[in-house]
């Protein structure tokens, strides 16, 4: 009974649900058009509220309202703060960073609203407007912010400098820069948030603990401090009087570098001396618009007379130290005439012959040859009597002995082989030396010594050594008082120096004379002693375009071979003792672009230094024309 009743109730409920559903469907079908018409404006309104046009309109209204409010706030004296930036920071990059941080802090009215106001950039713009409205009215707060900012920013060396060098901040410098902005929590909130984010990206490691090579970028990215990751420094070569070594491959820009340094020297209170055998620089430098009174130009192309034995013996005769050093320097000069190293016996004859000739009034290279001739010294007994006791004894008992005959003959033959060159004979048979190098270095700004290898041929090195010896002799007169610096530029320097280079560099350094040695590759330094002297006694080293030499130069320049090899043309890896290693470049064509003189330099130079030879050296006594210097080998008895 109950079961039948439940079935009846279920059937009734089912029919009721179905009926209600049918009713609703009928009503819905009838009402649908009316409902659809009502929903259209609602949907349109929702779409409009979320459309880009509406969002842009609302964003623009908010932005313009904020901008209008901000304009009502009297701004701080921006000019006064900017002047302080300029005065205290100096560097344009630092000034730019300071200005950006000042703007981010809300003390500077931003420019007019951007064209698109519904953007991330526009949102940041509105944040700056809000910050300006909240902060710009508080003058004391602005003053304190600028004080904190000035204390936090680093200072760069300002000034022209000889070179400009870019250098990435080291790890410790990055950390020091960042820490400076965490000292006052009232300011730099936005900057500190980003710096903290950068720190967390490195798992909390401080910059000083960072192991990568991009420390500055990793910790300063996305901040106004990023431009400070690379520092432009003014680099000067303050230690040039401790000498400089330049190795520059062919075509890399070695000559341009030297010319640039000389151009800088001409603007300073110093003397630049240039020795060049290739005539790449000398004619250009001689043509510069420099008063004749400031220039000395010594060239075999002019009427020039040089007596290397005219060393002022009367002035130094009572100073044994000076006499000995002068003899040593003349031995350095005359040694270039001899293909092989002097034997001890040759050296002994050489030294005493030099000592005698410098003591003879007007003694010259002709006198030197006469002394070496058989019994030639006997005609100079009066001068020999004035020499030191040991020298007198040697000339009277040893110099004329047969054991030295072959030695004297070989030395004289080598001299005569040079005298066959008409230019050499014309220049070096002078009886006086018109060049007082001590006075020249004191009075001139530019001294040019043309050792033209094409004209002088084998005598080019001899010609250069004469003036190097005169410079070093004059250096000893500069020991007693402070003198303006002298810079001696020697291109293709390996032709002029030998194992005595270390002593010469020391002498020059004491006299405030810096020697700049330049050549193309290390194999030109044939002597291990000379190589060691250059590496140990030059405080500044430049290298570029050197190929495999980079491996040898890297340790002494405190850098890597790749850094040296990777230098592009006109750029050099530069090691500066006490500073570090940089990549430095010199502008090309500096001398070519400089003003040129309108007068002729030759007449004045020939008036000062000219000489007409008085002897004809074409046929030496006891000459054997078929022999040459190359054919004369040291005797086995030597």
Minimum mean pLDDT range among 94-103, 113-122, 156-165: 156-165
- Band of residue 625 on the pLDDT scale cut at 50, 70, 90: very low
DSSP-derived secondary structure for 117-159: -SSHHHHHHHHHHHHHHHHTT-HHHHHHHHHHHHHHS-----S
pTM score of the predicted model: 0.71
Chain segment 179-188, per-residue pLDDT in tens = 999 988 889 9
pLDDT of amino acid 91: 78
Highest mean pLDDT among 131-145, 161-175, 256-270, 406-420 belongs to: 256-270
pLDDT of amino acid 340: 61
Residue 4 token pair = 């039948």
In whole angstroms, what is the distance from residue 465 CA to residue 277 CA? 12
For residues 29-43, average pLDDT: 61
Per-residue CA distances from 617 to 201, 436, 544, 632 (Å):
84, 26, 45, 20
Domain limits, the chain = 56-153, 160-236, 238-304+434-612, 307-418
For residues 345-362, average pLDDT: 89
The CA radius of gyration of the chain, in Å to the nearest whole number, is 42
In whole angstroms, what is the distance from residue 6 CA to residue 493 CA? 124
Chain segment 89-98, per-residue pLDDT in tens = 877 888 999 9
pLDDT of amino acid 634: 40
In whole angstroms, what is the distance from residue 367 CA to residue 358 CA? 10
Per-residue CA distances from 134 to 80, 106, 411 (Å):
21, 8, 94
pLDDT of amino acid 620: 46
Residue 619 has pLDDT above 60, yes or no: no
- Band of residue 524 on the pLDDT scale cut at 50, 70, 90: very high
Classify domain 238-304+434-612 at the CATH class level.
alpha beta
Minimum mean pLDDT range among 25-34, 144-153, 370-379, 610-619: 610-619
- Band of residue 621 on the pLDDT scale cut at 50, 70, 90: very low
Minimum mean pLDDT range among 14-28, 75-89, 165-179: 14-28
pLDDT of amino acid 392: 92
* Closest C-alpha among 475, 539, 529 to residue 507: 475
- Band of residue 48 on the pLDDT scale cut at 50, 70, 90: low
Minimum mean pLDDT range among 195-204, 229-238, 463-472, 532-541: 229-238
Continuous segment of H or E residues that includes residue 508? helix 501-510
pLDDT of amino acid 627: 40
pLDDT of amino acid 637: 37
- Band of residue 622 on the pLDDT scale cut at 50, 70, 90: very low
* Closest C-alpha among 382, 386, 387, 349 to residue 368: 349
- Band of residue 572 on the pLDDT scale cut at 50, 70, 90: very high
Chain segment 109-155, per-residue pLDDT in tens = 777 888 888 888 888 888 888 888 877 777 888 889 889 999 999 88
């Amino acid at each position: 009974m109950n079961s039948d009743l439940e079935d009846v109730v279920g059937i009734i409920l089912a029919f009721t649900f179905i009926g209600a559903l049918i009713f609703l469907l009928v009503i819905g079908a009838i009402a649908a058009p009316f409902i659809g018409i009502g929903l259209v404006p609602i949907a349109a309104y929702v779409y409009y509220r979320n459309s880009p046009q509406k969002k842009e309109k609302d964003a623009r209204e908010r932005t313009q309202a904020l901008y209008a409010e901000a304009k009502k706030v009297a701004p701080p004296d921006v000019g006064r703060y900017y002047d302080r930036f300029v005065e205290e920071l100096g560097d344009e990059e630092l000034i730019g960073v300071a200005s950006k941080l000042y703007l981010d802090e809300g003390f500077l009215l931003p420019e007019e609203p951007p064209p698109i106001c519904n953007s991330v950039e526009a949102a940041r713009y509105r944040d700056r407007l809000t910050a300006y409205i909240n902060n710009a009215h508080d003058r004391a707060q602005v003053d304190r912010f600028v004080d904190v900012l000035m204390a936090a920013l680093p200072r760069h060396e300002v000034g022209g400098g000889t070179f400009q060098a870019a250098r990435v901040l080291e790890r410790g410098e990055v950390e020091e820069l960042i820490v400076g902005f965490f000292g006052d929590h009232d300011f730099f909130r936005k900057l500190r948030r980003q710096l903290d984010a950068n720190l967390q990206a490195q798992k909390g490691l401080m910059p000083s603990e960072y192991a990568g090579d991009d420390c500055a970028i990793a910790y300063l990215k996305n901040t106004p401090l990023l431009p400070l990751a690379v520092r432009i420094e003014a680099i000067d070569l303050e230690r040039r009087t401790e000498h400089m070594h330049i190795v520059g491959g062919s075509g890399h820009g070695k000559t341009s570098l030297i010319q640039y340094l000389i151009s800088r020297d001409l603007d300073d209170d110093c003397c630049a001396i240039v020795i060049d055998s290739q005539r790449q620089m000398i004619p250009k430098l001689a043509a510069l618009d420099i008063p004749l009174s400031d220039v000395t130009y010594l060239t075999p192309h002019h009427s020039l007379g040089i007596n290397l034995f005219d060393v002022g013996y009367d002035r130094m005769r009572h100073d044994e130290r000076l006499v000995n050093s002068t003899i040593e320097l003349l031995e350095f000069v005359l040694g270039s005439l001899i293909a092989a190293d002097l034997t001890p016996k040759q050296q002994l004859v050489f030294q005493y012959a030099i000592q005698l000739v410098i003591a003879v009034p007007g003694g010259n290279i002709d006198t030197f040859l006469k002394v070496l001739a058989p019994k030639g010294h006997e005609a100079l007994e009066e001068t020999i009597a004035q020499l030191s006791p040991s020298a007198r004894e040697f000339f009277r008992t040893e110099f004329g002995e047969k054991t030295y005959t072959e030695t004297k003959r070989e030395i004289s033959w080598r001299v005569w082989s040079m005298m066959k060159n008409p230019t050499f004979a014309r220049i070096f048979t002078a009886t006086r030396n018109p060049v007082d190098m001590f006075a020249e270095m004191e009075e001139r700004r530019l001294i040019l010594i043309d050792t033209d290898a094409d004209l002088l041929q084998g005598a080019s090195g001899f010609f250069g050594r004469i003036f190097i010896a005169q410079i070093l002799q004059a250096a000893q007169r500069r020991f007693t008082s402070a003198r303006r610096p002298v810079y001696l530029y020697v291109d293709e320097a390996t032709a002029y120096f030998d194992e005595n280079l270390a002593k010469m560099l020391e002498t020059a350094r004491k006299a405030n004379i810096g020697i700049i040695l330049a050549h193309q590759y290390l194999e030109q330094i044939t002597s291990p002693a000379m190589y060691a002297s250059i590496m140990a006694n030059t405080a500044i080293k430049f290298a570029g375009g050197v190929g495999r030499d980079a491996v040898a130069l890297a340790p002494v320049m405190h850098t890597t071979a790749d850094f040296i090899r990777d230098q592009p043309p006109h750029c050099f890896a530069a090691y500066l003792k006490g500073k570090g290693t940089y990549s430095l470049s010199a502008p090309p064509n500096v001398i070519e672009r400089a003003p040129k003189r309108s007068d002729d330099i030759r007449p004045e130079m020939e008036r000062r230094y000219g000489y007409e030879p008085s002897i004809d050296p074409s046929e030496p006594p006891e000459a054997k024309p078929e022999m040459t210097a190359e054919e004369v080998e040291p005797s086995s008895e030597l």
